[in-house]
Amino acid sequence: MSRATDGTRGARLAELTQTTAERLRDVADLIQSCRPGSTWRVGLSEPVPAHGLNTALTQARYALAGARTAVPSVPRVARLRDLDGLALLLAGVPASVREVYRETVLGPLTKAGRGSATMLLDTLEVFLAHDCSWTRTAEALHVHVNTVHYRVDRIQALTGRDLSRLDDRVDLRAALLCR
């Protein structure tokens, strides 16, 4: 099969998946109107050949896990391609694995003491949410910028992570999302 034919076939499969998702969303609206209190979600895989049914099942399970998150942008009928963020990707990871990861990465902060743990976790979350801006973090937390520097230094010392490195920021953000 030529590349042009592969491309045409791929485009048709993508269109079919989109159409299927749209039809399932219509059905979801009908079910919701008949059963207003019901809560249900659907995970939809990408098209696969018959020998790839195990792959399709795995993809659909990940999409379903993402659809079950509290993220409002995820539709009730979620395709694997709808999982376009770290939080949605992590939703497909088993809870026990997320818990171990969270404890491994954030454990030193949670053991910093009752008041300190909450303060450091809040500071970390706000710091990352404000793209590691010292000034905007200080404004959001209503503290002096030197306080943010002190807290971030403490977070780095306790976790062994360097918040100036992207990989370490992603690790810490992922661990926060696993809470």
Check whether residue 104 and residue 51 sit in a common domain.
Answer: no
Cβ-contact 166, 86 below 8 angstroms: no
Looking at 91, 110, 131, the residue that finishes a domain is 91
Check whether residue 84 and residue 99 sit in a common domain.
Answer: no
pTM equals: 0.69
Q: Which 3-state string (H, E, C) describes 149-178?
A: HHHHHHHHHHHCCCCCCHHHHHHHHHHHHC
Residues with Cβ within 8 Å of 24's Cβ and at least 6 positions away in sequence, in order, are: 42, 44, 77
pLDDT score of 1: 47
Task: Work out how many domains the chain is built from and give that number.
Answer: 2
Name the range with the highest mean pLDDT among 35-39, 70-74, 162-166.
162-166
Check whether residue 60 and residue 125 sit in a common domain.
Answer: no
Check whether residue 83 and residue 102 sit in a common domain.
Answer: no
Q: Residue 22 above 90 pLDDT? A: no
Check whether residue 100 and residue 87 sit in a common domain.
Answer: no
Looking at 91, 117, 144, the residue that finishes a domain is 91
Check whether residue 7 and residue 29 sit in a common domain.
Answer: yes
User: Rounded to an integer, what distance in angstroms lies between the CA atom of residue 162 and that of residue 164?
Assistant: 5
> What confidence tier does 156 reach under pLDDT thresholds 50, 70, 90?
very high
Cβ-contact 106, 125 below 8 angstroms: no
19 is in which domain, residue-wise? 3-91
What the block records as the tokens of 62 is: 């990940």
Cβ-contact 15, 22 below 8 angstroms: no
Cβ-contact 134, 148 below 8 angstroms: yes
What the block records as the tokens of 65 is: 């896990």
Check whether residue 83 and residue 119 sit in a common domain.
Answer: no
* CATH of residue 163: 1.10.10.2840
